[in-house]
Amino acid sequence: MGNTTERSRRARTTRPGQSSRGRSKPSADGHGKASSARWSETQQPSNGTEEQWNWPGRFTSPGADPHTLVHEMILTGAEATIKRQRGRRGGTLSAERVAEQLAQIDAGREPWLATRVASDILLSAMESLYEHGWQPRDVIHVVERAHPQHVAELAVATVAFQAALTNASQRAPLSWVEQLDDVAAACPDLAETMRWAAIRNPGNRPYLLALGGEPPLQTDWSAVLTLIGRWHDLPVWPQVCTPPSQWPEQRADAAPRAQRSGPVDSRVLNKVRGLLAKAEATTYSGEAEAFTAKAQELMTRYAIDSALLRSEHSRADVLTTRIHIDNPYTKAKVHLLHEISLANRVRVVWDAEYAVATAVGTPVDLRQVEMLYTSVLVQATHAMTELGRDSEDGSTRTASFRRAFLFAFAVRVGQRLQEVGEETTARAAKRARRNGKRLLPILAAQNEAVNAEFERLFPRTEKQTASPMDARGWIAGKVAADQAVLQPAGVALEGAS
């Protein structure tokens, strides 16, 4: 069934923003009293007096700090959402009760107090996650796959607001800016609203109120508590990109090049994208395989040429990127990624809990893996759904059949891509010898650098093997991936180019 996938093993005792007891620490940000400037100037009369605050269900002493009390209440509600997510008893009821209390506090003596504190908690949680290895696409991905749309939109709003607040577009590495652009492209109106709220915000109004539109405003406390709970429950991850605390005041033009997924020649990328687009568009599996193989050959040739050129000046650059795997059939999809990575000298580790794969390799190889994975997954999905649509056998549409189909497709495609890569490397080695250069020691040194960085980031991994699966789906997937005549199409494309 091919090689197994490596999965990271991590200690789960420490999380960003948590104490040793596992409870999120109150923010020591020294906030004073809330500003009188609001998104909505509508205020409701207070039920309290000058001597005491009237809180839902209880009175507090005059010396109690309302910000601290609200902070603790929000964290209690967020913790209840975590219990609910894990199926523990009492989580739903507690979260709903806290949400009702926070809504009453917002309408009390200091309007929008709870919303202001919640805004600060979310921004602090985001900053803490960034400093502990997470990146913009990561924090959105874990929310989208586990929670409803309104929670995901709140996550997007927080990412966009924080980015505008910190001037990330001018300070962050380009790989970070690219992620922010992707997040904004998914919800452009929301992202623009948050940018406006960050730039034009007299009185330091809580950004959560910018989501409510016209008065009367009401904070979606269910979404807020759920998002805080989710982000406070995330673990520390390896740092693979410069965090905001280390960004310069103004990004230098040359500084982010080492952070990008690869300084790859745009002409080569355009050719590869064109080949992969043809592979995705055709309805003939053999033709799709031929286009994909040609893309593999072209990028492998370019990667080897880059390695030869770089060897004359410096050692191999090794970068790290994260690839998010969407439902369904995440194990089969990550196995496809693993097989493609093997054919392109890239190491991949898989975090099953959050459906995130981390790939380590040279910039050119990483870009090749990302493009091939996206394209081949489209081809595999097309072949799988077409088989289910055309077959009278209903079992071809079951989850077990499709999971086995994708696994087999992944193994066979990986084998074929590896064959293409080995043939291309052998031809390049002969050319290099004729030019007085030795290619294989250069590639060996590159692999050694990749392995060293991988072991540094992930000192503890375990092999993940696939469970038994539908034999008919396996055979069908192998056949679908095997119906290709690579060489004739490759020769024709070579001549045309």
Both 185 and 292 in one domain: the answer is: no
DSSP, collapsed to helix, strand or coil, labels residue 369 as helix
Both 442 and 323 in one domain: the answer is: yes
**Can you tell me the distance from the alpha carbon of 127 to that of 125, in angstroms, rounded to the nearest whole number?**
6
Work out the pLDDT band at 310, boundaries 50, 70, 90.
low
The kind and range of the H/E element at 400 are helix 399-434
Work out the pLDDT band at 472, boundaries 50, 70, 90.
low
Most confident of 379-383, 442-446, 493-497: 442-446
The DSSP bridge pattern shows strands 347-351 and 5-8 to be parallel
For the stretch 146-162, pLDDT in tens is: 999 999 999 999 999 99
Dmax over CA atoms of the chain, in Å, equals 91
Both 404 and 287 in one domain: the answer is: yes
The DSSP bridge pattern shows strands 53-55 and 356-361 to be unpaired
Which residues constitute the domain of residue 408? Answer: 261-496
Query: Percent helix, strand and coil across the chain, each rounded to 5?
Result: 60, 5, 35
Both 219 and 339 in one domain: the answer is: no
**In-domain check, residue 148:** yes
**In-domain check, residue 34:** no
Dihedral sign computed on CA atoms, order 112, 198, 224, 31:
negative
**Can you tell me the distance from the alpha carbon of 179 to that of 401, in angstroms, rounded to the nearest whole number?**
35
Both 134 and 94 in one domain: the answer is: yes
Output 212 or 76, whichever has higher pLDDT. Answer: 76
Both 155 and 275 in one domain: the answer is: no
DSSP, collapsed to helix, strand or coil, labels residue 262 as coil
8-state DSSP, 326: P
Mean pLDDT along residues 422-434:
84
Q: What is the model's pTM?
A: 0.76
- The number of CA neighbours under 13 Å toward the Cβ of 4 is 10
**In-domain check, residue 3:** no
Both 348 and 463 in one domain: the answer is: yes
**Can you tell me the distance from the alpha carbon of 342 to that of 345, in angstroms, rounded to the nearest whole number?**
6
Both 319 and 459 in one domain: the answer is: yes
Number of domains in the chain: 2
Which of 255, 283, 316 is the C-terminal boundary of a domain?
255
The rounded mean pLDDT for the chain is 77
Whole-number pLDDT of residue 182: 92
Work out the pLDDT band at 383, boundaries 50, 70, 90.
confident
State yes or no: pLDDT of 242 exceeds 70. yes
**In-domain check, residue 42:** no
| Residue % of the chain over a pLDDT of 70 | 72
Whole-number pLDDT of residue 497: 31
Both 70 and 211 in one domain: the answer is: yes
Both 278 and 167 in one domain: the answer is: no
State yes or no: pLDDT of 446 exceeds 50. yes
State yes or no: pLDDT of 343 exceeds 80. yes
- Cβ atoms of 287 and 486 within 8 Å: the answer is no
Both 334 and 446 in one domain: the answer is: yes
Which of 200, 230, 255 is the C-terminal boundary of a domain?
255
Written in H, E and C, the secondary structure of 137-153 is HHHHHHHHCCCCHHHHH
Both 193 and 108 in one domain: the answer is: yes
- Structure tokens that stand for 455 in this block: 């072991």
